[in-house]
Amino acid sequence: MAKITGPCVAIVTPFNQDETINADALRRQVKRQVAAGNGVFCAGTNGEFYALSFDEKVRVAELCVEAAGGAVPVLAHIGEVSTSQTILLGRKIEKLDVKALSVITPSILAYSQDELIAHYRDVADALTKPIYLYNLPARTGNTLQPETVRVLADHPNIVGIKDSAGSQESLDGYLEIARSHDAFDVLVGPDSLVLHGLTHGAAGCVSGLGNISPVTLNAIWASFSKGDSEAAGKHQAHYSELRKELYAHGFAPTMVKRCLTLAMPEVGASRRPAMVSAEVEERIRPISRKWAEATE
């Protein structure tokens, strides 16, 4: 069964001034990641899935698959508020050449762990592509507890979890489950924990900051894979410094996109109502000049 290993980037969704998707800019961003050796995670939080229509999510996946050209894996996010809509979107997107699908916990209502288990089992039963759970409790209000994940890890079509809870404790809990389930992997979400996760058994990561510094992200993985822990540590420290500098100014995905847009204007602004004030933009500008990496 197809699974994801190594670094992936939670690719931004570029918009034109009228907030329509800038297809050419998205293709170029994907190819930029391919050049760095990174896989692509599309229509996630950094891709502003919460602001995209159903059809736009399908289009984003189409464009990412096309631009990647099979050179790197494409992991497509399909999480919706309801089970039925998640399955409907998944059936559309799994027809594309994506390697796997990611499903964030439903939001708005507070769900019991039994409800979440039923949701994920129904989705995994209905779809043919491998499923990754996606844990982001700060935004959804729902946490996948370790025991819930342990139950779901036994499902033959659930192959892992993308953990973006932001804490080492959360990540370590899922890594412990992966160690006892050979067919279940962990993808690290927090940029500050990439190397920690890899060191303790994570199969890879999904990074937002990789939009800005794709080469540095890949260098963490490449150094770790070669057994050069000193170099991997230096690259992780470099990456963590970027995180500290940038995320101090606001909501992480909005900061990432504006930082990238300052270096590559065609990426465009985040969809309203997300905005970046002129004052915050001036603070981000030197960060963009310092950290943005071109790969062409």
Enumerate the active-site residues: 134, 162
Dihedral sign from CA coordinates of 10, 15, 20, 26? negative
Angle CA 159–196–12, to nearest 5: 65
3-state secondary structure the chain: CCCCCEEEEECCCCECCCCCECHHHHHHHHHHHHHHCCEEEECCCCCCHHHCCHHHHHHHHHHHHHHHCCCCCEEEECCCCCHHHHHHHHHHHCCCCCCEEEEECCCCCCCCHHHHHHHHHHHHHHCCCCEEEEECHHHHCCCCCHHHHHHHCCCCCEEEEEECCCCHHHHHHHHHHHHCCCCCEEEECCHHHHHHHHHCCCCEEEECHHHCCHHHHHHHHHHHHCCCHHHHHHHHHHHHHHHHHHHCCCCHHHHHHHHHHHHCHHHCCCCCCCCCCHHHHHHHHHHHHHHCCCCC
Beta bridge partners of 8: 39, 206
